[in-house]
């Protein structure tokens, strides 16, 4: 049994030696002897000092705890206003941060152990405790409490940081979701505009391609596949595979255009392609090379347009104008043929009359028959000339002499009798050869000459100049061009119309049956011959059309 010590109620025991800050203890003990005994034990401590506040009741303890900070509570388990575990729970609930050491009697050890579960740091059995054990238990309880606090603090901090980080992650996640949403929208937009592009390509029958020169990978848009009558799986996408689809006669010109493009010259060419069913289509191709930093070609992009129908329409138009011109010529010529026919008929009549009467006049007959031969030859010349205009062979491209073609056209017009009151001035330089279609060039000259005669009313001066660009007559001069000028001294073209004369269906002769296709077709033909045509006109003085054709 502990020694009995008298203690004043609510009196603090303070150790004499106060070297360090003393440990503030709340002693909750209703047994005055035990309290005195505990105070004595605490006072014996040499390593640490205590400042002890002693109360008898739990309610007093709770009041003090609210007012004053304590380092430790030494709690008796059987108090007048609380007993057993309930005491510990209430004290711990009131001040969860202050360590509690419980004291029990010998028989209460089980209860003491349970008190540890309810928040007590340690328990002491009154009958077994001494000063040393008490001080050690108190100090350990405080230290453990502090360690636990530190741990709790670290834990709280960690939790806080986890919460902050989680918060950040949530925000990042939200931003990411927004971005994904945004990207989805952009992708949808992209898909839509791709669809629109494909649709546009389908409507105008233009496809585009992209050739990575370094890897030789060739990308075609869907429309190109459609133009070539292929599906993407049928075509190994390379430049060589593409060349295989080109008409054999056009491959060289494509290779040439592409190799020139590799030196920076964009190309624009028309060529034929052969579909798998053997049908031939006509396409217009354009291409342009992108160069790397050191000037090496890295990429080539371009377009392919199916111009088969356009070409066919052009040809139809060309034919219709040709037929219109021929119709005009035919009516003019029919008139011209009537004269020789009348002469032939007159001669034949003369001979017939005399033969019937038995008059044989050898000299006269010879004379008449000579006239008949001459006129027949003339008619034959006219029909031949007319027929030559429609012969298919002359529409193939080969080397032709421009002066010869011009003369043949002039002859045909002459047969119509339209040159009777026209002074034709020819300034021809040598033999000027160009690579072209004789028939088409005749059509060009015919249209220009007929326009000139229309303007002059078949009366005036027609000047025909031909020359090479350098002015010399050496037509072997590589790279030079041929100039052809057809000039009339008619009324000229009003300035407001000069820019329109090449437009299809522009005519000032609608009343006289003009359809306005002549010059538009002239323009097409000259372009097809890689040439140019220009008009200059001065009102009251006349008009000149100047053609330049490469040799």
Ligand X SMILES: Nc1ncnc2c1ncn2[C@@H]1O[C@H](COP(=O)(O)OP(=O)(O)O)[C@@H](O)[C@H]1O
Binding site for ligand X (CB under 6 A): 447, 451-452, 455, 488, 490, 493, 501, 506-509, 514-520, 543
Q: Give the nearest residue (CB) to ligand X.
A: 518
Q: Where are the beta strands (DSSP E) in 376-451?
A: 397-401, 422-427, 433-437
Smallest gap, in angstroms, from Cβ of residue 516 to Mg ion? 7
Contacts of 179 (CB under 8 A, 6+ apart): none
With respect to ligand X, which residue has the nearer C-beta, 329 or 447? 447
Residues in region 449-468 near Mg ion by CB under 5 A? 451
Q: Where are the beta strands (DSSP E) in 185-263?
A: 206-212, 217-220
515 touches which of Mg ion, ligand X, none (CB within 5 to 8 A by kind)? ligand X
Smallest gap, in angstroms, from Cβ of residue 190 to ligand X? 47
Smallest gap, in angstroms, from Cβ of residue 515 to ligand X? 5
490 touches which of ligand X, Mg ion, none (CB within 5 to 8 A by kind)? ligand X
Give the interface segment with Mg ion, choosing from 151-159, 229-237, 411-419, 512-520 (CB under 5 A).
Answer: 512-520
485 touches which of Mg ion, ligand X, none (CB within 5 to 8 A by kind)? none
Residue 490 interacts with Mg ion (CB under 5 A): yes or no: no
The Cα–Cα gap between 207 and 229 comes to 13
Smallest gap, in angstroms, from Cβ of residue 407 to Mg ion? 21
Smallest gap, in angstroms, from Cβ of residue 309 to ligand X? 23
With respect to Mg ion, which residue has the nearer C-beta, 285 or 518? 518
208 touches which of Mg ion, ligand X, none (CB within 5 to 8 A by kind)? none
With respect to ligand X, which residue has the nearer C-beta, 343 or 535? 535
Give the interface segment with Mg ion, choosing from 217-225, 236-244, 332-340, 443-451 (CB under 5 A).
Answer: 443-451
Smallest gap, in angstroms, from Cβ of residue 299 to ligand X? 43
82 touches which of Mg ion, ligand X, none (CB within 5 to 8 A by kind)? none
With respect to ligand X, which residue has the nearer C-beta, 32 or 504? 504
58 touches which of ligand X, Mg ion, none (CB within 5 to 8 A by kind)? none
What stretch of H or E contains 174?
Answer: helix 131-204
Q: Give the nearest residue (CB) to Mg ion.
A: 518
The Cα–Cα gap between 547 and 494 comes to 21
With respect to ligand X, which residue has the nearer C-beta, 454 or 475? 454
543 touches which of ligand X, Mg ion, none (CB within 5 to 8 A by kind)? ligand X
With respect to ligand X, which residue has the nearer C-beta, 332 or 350? 332
What letters, b where the CB count within 10 A reaches 16 and e where it falls short, cover 22-36? bbbbbbbbbbbebbb
483 — alpha (psi -120 to 50), left (phi > 0) or beta?
Answer: beta
Tokens linked to 317: 């138009």
Smallest gap, in angstroms, from Cβ of residue 335 to Mg ion? 20
With respect to Mg ion, which residue has the nearer C-beta, 15 or 451? 451
Q: Report how far Cα 454 is from the mean position of its chain's Cα atoms.
A: 52
One-character DSSP codes across 473-542:
S-TT-TT-EEEEEEEE-SS---HHHHTTTTSTT--S-GGGT--S-HHHHHHHHHHHTT-EEEEEEETTTE
With respect to Mg ion, which residue has the nearer C-beta, 213 or 448? 448
Strand-pair category, 206-212 with 217-220: antiparallel
Name the DSSP letter for residue 470. Answer: T
Q: Enumerate the β-bridge partners of residue 301.
A: 210, 288
Residue 518 interacts with Mg ion (CB under 5 A): yes or no: yes
Give the interface segment with Mg ion, choosing from 329-337, 360-368, 383-391, 513-521 (CB under 5 A).
Answer: 513-521
With respect to ligand X, which residue has the nearer C-beta, 7 or 521? 521
What stretch of H or E contains 76?
Answer: strand 72-76
With respect to ligand X, which residue has the nearer C-beta, 207 or 518? 518
Smallest gap, in angstroms, from Cβ of residue 278 to ligand X? 38
Q: Within a 10 A sphere around the Cβ of 469, how many other Cβ atoms?
A: 14
With respect to Mg ion, which residue has the nearer C-beta, 141 or 318? 318
- 46 near 11, Cβ under 8 Å? no
The number of residues that bind Mg ion (CB under 5 A) is 2
488 touches which of Mg ion, ligand X, none (CB within 5 to 8 A by kind)? ligand X
Give the helix, strand, coil percentages of the chain, each rounded to 5. 50, 20, 25
244 — alpha (psi -120 to 50), left (phi > 0) or beta?
Answer: alpha
Smallest gap, in angstroms, from Cβ of residue 387 to Mg ion? 22
Give the interface segment with Mg ion, choosing from 72-80, 395-403, 459-467, 518-526 (CB under 5 A).
Answer: 518-526
Cross-sheet strand order for the sheet of 206-212: 217-220, 206-212, 297-306, 280-291, 267-274
Smallest gap, in angstroms, from Cβ of residue 519 to Mg ion? 7
Smallest gap, in angstroms, from Cβ of residue 451 to ligand X? 3
With respect to ligand X, which residue has the nearer C-beta, 172 or 534? 534
With respect to ligand X, which residue has the nearer C-beta, 141 or 329? 329
137 touches which of Mg ion, ligand X, none (CB within 5 to 8 A by kind)? none
The Cα–Cα gap between 271 and 107 comes to 114
The Cα–Cα gap between 325 and 43 comes to 140
- 550 near 532, Cβ under 8 Å? no
Smallest gap, in angstroms, from Cβ of residue 407 to ligand X? 20
140 touches which of Mg ion, ligand X, none (CB within 5 to 8 A by kind)? none
The residue to which tokens 């791709």 are assigned: 194
Smallest gap, in angstroms, from Cβ of residue 446 to ligand X? 10
106 — alpha (psi -120 to 50), left (phi > 0) or beta?
Answer: alpha
The residue to which tokens 């152990």 are assigned: 113
- Residue ranges that bind Mg ion, judged by CB under 5 A: 451, 518
């Amino acid at each position: 049994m502990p020694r009995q010590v008298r203690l004043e109620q609510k009196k603090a025991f303070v150790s004499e030696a106060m070297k360090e800050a003393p440990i503030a203890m709340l002693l909750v003990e209703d047994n005055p002897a035990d309290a005195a005994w505990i105070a004595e034990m605490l006072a014996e401590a040499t390593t640490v000092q205590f400042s002890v506040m002693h109360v008898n009741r739990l309610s007093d303890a709770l009041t003090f705890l609210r007012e004053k900070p304590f380092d430790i509570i030494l709690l008796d388990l059987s108090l007048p206003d609380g007993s057993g575990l309930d005491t510990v729970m209430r004290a711990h609930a009131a001040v969860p941060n202050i360590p509690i050491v419980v004291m029990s009697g010998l028989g209460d050890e089980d209860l003491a152990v349970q008190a540890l579960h309810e928040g007590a740091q340690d328990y002491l059995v009154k009958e077994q405790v001494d000063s040393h054990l008490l001080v050690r238990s108190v100090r350990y309880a405080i230290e453990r409490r502090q360690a636990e606090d530190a741990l709790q603090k670290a834990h709280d901090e960690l939790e806080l940081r986890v919460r902050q980080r989680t918060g950040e992650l949530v925000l990042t996640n939200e931003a990411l979701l927004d971005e994904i949403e945004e990207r989805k929208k952009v992708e949808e937009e992209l898909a839509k505009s791709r669809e629109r592009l494909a649709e546009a390509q389908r409507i105008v029958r233009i496809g585009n391609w992209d050739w990575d020169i370094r890897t030789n990978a060739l990308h075609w848009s869907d429309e190109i596949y459609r133009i070539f009558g292929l599906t993407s799986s049928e075509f190994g996408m390379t430049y060589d595979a593409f060349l295989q689809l080109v008409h054999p006669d056009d491959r060289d010109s494509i290779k040439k255009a592409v190799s020139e493009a590799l030196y920076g010259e964009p190309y624009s060419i028309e060529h034929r392609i052969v579909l798998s069913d053997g049908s031939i289509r006509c396409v217009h191709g354009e291409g342009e090379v992108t160069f790397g930093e050191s000037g090496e070609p890295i990429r080539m992009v371009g377009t392919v347009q199916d111009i088969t129908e356009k070409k066919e329409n052009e040809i139809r138009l060309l034919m219709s104008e040709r037929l219109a011109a021929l119709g005009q010529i035919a009516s003019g010529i029919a008139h011209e043929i009537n004269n020789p026919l009348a002469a032939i008929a007159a001669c034949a009549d003369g001979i017939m009359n005399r033969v019937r009467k038995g008059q044989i006049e050898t000299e006269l007959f010879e004379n008449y028959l000579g006239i008949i031969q001459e006129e027949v030859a003339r008619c034959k010349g006219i029909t031949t000339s007319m027929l030559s205009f429609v012969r298919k062979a002359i529409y193939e491209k080969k080397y032709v002499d421009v002066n010869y073609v011009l003369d043949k056209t002039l002859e045909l017009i002459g047969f119509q009798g339209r040159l009777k009151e026209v002074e034709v001035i020819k300034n021809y330089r040598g033999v000027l050869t160009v690579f072209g279609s004789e028939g088409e060039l005749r059509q060009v000259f015919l249209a220009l000459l007929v326009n000139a005669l229309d303007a002059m009313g078949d009366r005036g001066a027609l000047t025909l100049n031909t020359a090479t660009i350098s002015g010399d007559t050496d037509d072997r001069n590589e790279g030079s061009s041929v100039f052809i000028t057809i000039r009339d001294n008619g009324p000229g073209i009003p300035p407001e119309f000069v820019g329109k004369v090449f437009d299809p269906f522009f005519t000032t002769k609608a009343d006289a049956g003009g359809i306005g296709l002549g010059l538009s077709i002239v323009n097409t033909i000259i372009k097809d011959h890689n040439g140019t045509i220009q008009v200059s006109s001065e009102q009251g003085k006349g008009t000149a059309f100047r053609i330049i054709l490469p040799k």
